[in-house]
Amino acid sequence: MLPDYVRVPRVNIVDRVSIPSKRAAVIVVDMQNDFAHPNGRLYAPSSREIIPRIVSLLERARRSGVRVIYTKDTHYGDDPVEFPIWGPHVIRGTWGWEIVDELKPREGDIVVEKMRYDAFFGTPLDHILRMYGVQHLVVTGTVANICVLHTVASARLRLYDVVVPVDAVAALNEFDYAAALRQMDFLYRVTLTKTDGVEFV
């Protein structure tokens, strides 16, 4: 039987991490209207709160020549796997599927459509990263314990170095957020920091 509450283990958050620009990419996970806009079908309010920090991070990344990659959760009108769980969401071609206006991709950015939580599963993401010589990933976005965590896990299993700014990922609730950071830190040995602690060199 589960207890009424559990103590969240402390995670290691470093003050600063230096990342080589020429071998780095920032991945923005699923910052789409259905998740990060108040009118979205699966709106998580904390997804809205992280937008300014992702904007700031992307500005610094682009100035340093760091590649920027967006993932777009993508479903069709009769998805038999996720719709029974979450209901219809991010249906390809709809407003809810589009990335929020504040984070619209720019020329030269790469957009990867994915049909499952993991941005590597069934997509060309790994090939794209290796083609451009990317070894270091900074992963931001939503939702922390679902698409962010599965993407981070898949990246680590492929031996990428992963940094997650803890103030630039969002979850549906505090428990899910804390559980995701615990898994990233303890199980996958991801480097956790704050947005301002990410330095591109």
50 occurs within a structural domain: yes
- What's the pLDDT tens digit per position in 112-128? 999 999 999 999 999 99
| Exposure string over 8-47, b if 16+ CB within 10 A, otherwise e | eeebebeeebebebeebbbbbbbbbbbbbbeebbbbbebb
In a domain, 1, yes or no: no
Total tally of structural domains belonging to the chain = 1
The 8-class DSSP code of residue 165 comes to E
In a domain, 8, yes or no: no
Distances (CA, A) of 15 to 12, 185, 193, 196: 10, 15, 6, 9
72 counts as catalytic = no
Mean predicted confidence (pLDDT) in 39-55: 96
The CATH number assigned to the domain holding 117 equals 3.40.50.850
Q: How would residue 7 be classed by pLDDT, with cut points 50, 70 and 90?
A: confident
185 noted as active-site residue: no
The model's pLDDT over 165-175, given as tens digits with 9 standing for 90+, comes to: 999 999 999 99
Q: Is residue 118 part of a domain?
A: yes
The mean pLDDT value for 133-153 works out to 98
Q: Is 194 a catalytic residue?
A: no
% the chain with pLDDT above 90: 94
Whole-number Å distance between alpha carbons of 51 and 72: 16
Which listed residue (73, 147, 161, 185) is catalytic?
147
In a domain, 132, yes or no: yes
Domain range for 133 = 17-200
Domain assignment present for residue 78? The answer is yes
| Active-site entry in 34, 72, 73, 114 | 114
